[in-house]
Amino acid sequence: MIYLDHAATTPVYPEVIEEMMPYFDKKFGNPSGIYEFASENKEKIQRVRNIIAESIDASADEIYFTSGGTESDNWAVRGIAESMKSKGKHIITSAIEHHAILNTCDFLEKHGYEVTYLDVDDTGMISLEQLRKSIRKDTILISIMFANNEIGTIEPIREIGEIAAEHNIYFHTDAVQAYMHVPVNVNDMKIDLMSASSHKFGGPKGVGFLYIRDGINIANLMYGGGQESGKRAGTENVAGIIGMGKAVELAGNSMVRDNIYIRNMREYLYYRITSEIPYVRLNGSRTERLSGNLNISFKYIEGESLLIMLDMEGICASAGSACTAGSKESSYVLKAIGVPEEFAKGSLRITLGTDNTMNDMDIVFEKINYIVNTLREFSDEYVNLRVI
Ligand code: PLP
């Protein structure tokens, strides 16, 4: 199998699994217990809080463990909407956010909030000018993703942070695809809230965190016990948190090296596809892009058929995000960046990781080339082109 869907999820580092294992049997104590067997686990969790805080230039008490990206996004947006409603009910986000943000905004719109969805240009970048113009007296939150999950575009986070700070508006960023793949500094970038998810960087699924800048008043998403300073109730996912901490250490230490390794493979595959297969286009930015992301469209084919045939060859890739996979609709992100329908329906998202090799890229290219050529034989439009 060649796995090319690292934006959907990543394999867990063996060292992470090893680190987690004792917490299922030998060290199973509930961190809230007062005896040493349990309180040791509280200390371990605290250590992870420190590791994460250090990785983004925050302090440990600004890190709140959650069940992952979706919960962190929901909490950030709904929590601020609730706590700030006396100031206003206007939120600014972008048209290409993950559904964890878009559907949360949709929910809020049904409950009296107004949401402005910023457009993006043909590379997926928001306009700072439009952001400035969209700010109102009653704007309480700007939520713009750090990097897009489908096309890999990295947004101008520092500039957005500046604008938000100038206007005294909270800035949340969904950094699920970016954290541990690009450097993040919440102070330099003036980020007030940030979502991250462990399974996108070699950690286990079902665990993540929300960074909340000290002093921000945010309503709870869940009520219950006093865990996470009373802000996020529920017995901690001890093994998951420990695993996430180990993944942060490992991914953080090798981030620069991994990016070079992954980008070289991506560029090689991109070069071979665009130079050897006609009627192809790259979706997203050529430069402001996550290293591992290659989103490419082939005219005269259906992306769905390409994916199925790649799967039969043992190659796992995707058309858009995992969440929209299976729906016949072409991706809302590709629509937002203006990809013509005849290209959008033949799109392929390849997201690389350190478990891939240059040799994989040659195999993948050969398979794609063969399948695209085969599928095009079923397109009257394509066959007619040749006749002419
Ligand atoms: N936000 C973005 C940008 C994502 O790519 C994802 C997952 O694909 C999520 C949020 C949701 O994260 P999780 O799977 O941890 O709930």
> Using 50, 70 and 90 to split pLDDT, how confident is the model at 319?
confident
- In the structure encoding, which two tokens stand for residue 22, read together? 């004792």
Please tell me the distance between residue 368's alpha carbon and the centre of ligand 1 in angstroms.
27
> Using 50, 70 and 90 to split pLDDT, how confident is the model at 124?
very high
Give pLDDT, residue 184. Answer: 98
For the entire predicted model, the pTM comes to 0.97
Sign of the Cα pseudo-torsion (73, 75, 78, 83, in order): negative
For ligand 1, pick from 9, 104, 151, 177 the residue to mutate: most ligand atoms within 8 Å of CB: 177
**Tokens 């999820």 -> residue:** 9
Please tell me the distance between residue 37's alpha carbon and the centre of ligand 1 in angstroms.
34
Phi, psi of 91 (to 5 degrees): -125, 140
Residues with CB under 6 A from ligand 1: 68-70, 73, 98, 100, 145, 149, 174, 176-177, 197, 208, 321-322
Q: 125-167: per-residue pLDDT in tens?
A: 999 999 999 999 999 999 999 999 999 999 999 999 999 999 9
3-state secondary structure of 345: coil
Active-site pick, 316, 323, 363, 385? 323
Give pLDDT, residue 224. Answer: 97
- In the structure encoding, which two tokens stand for residue 375, read together? 């599928």
Determine which residue's CA is closest to atom 8 belonging to ligand 1.
8
Residue 267: CB partners within 8 Å, gap ≥ 6?
A: none
On the question of pLDDT at 322 being above 90, the answer is no
Active site residue 105: no
The DSSP secondary-structure symbol of 131 reads: H
For ligand 1, pick from 176, 184, 244 the residue to mutate: most ligand atoms within 8 Å of CB: 176
Q: Which atom of ligand 1 is nearest to the CA of 199?
A: 15
Please tell me the distance between residue 175's alpha carbon and the centre of ligand 1 in angstroms.
9
Q: What is the rounded distance in angstroms from the CA atom of residue 90 to the CA atom of residue 116?
A: 8
DSSP alpha helix (H) spans, the chain: 14-20, 36-56, 69-83, 99-109, 128-134, 157-166, 238-276, 303-312, 332-336, 341-344, 358-376, 380-387
Angle at 254 between CA 250 and CA 257, to 5 degrees: 165
Rounded alpha-carbon distances, angstroms, from residue 299 to 193, 277, 294, 341: 40, 10, 16, 9
On the question of pLDDT at 31 being above 50, the answer is yes
On the question of pLDDT at 68 being above 50, the answer is yes
Q: 45-67: per-residue pLDDT in tens?
A: 999 999 999 999 999 999 999 99
Q: What is the rounded distance in angstroms from the CA atom of residue 12 to the CA atom of residue 220?
A: 30
Find out whether 255 and 180 touch, Cβ atoms under 8 Å.
yes
Find out whether 169 and 93 touch, Cβ atoms under 8 Å.
no
CA nearest neighbour of 313 among 365, 379, 257: 365
Q: What is the rounded distance in angstroms from the CA atom of residue 296 to the CA atom of residue 273?
A: 9
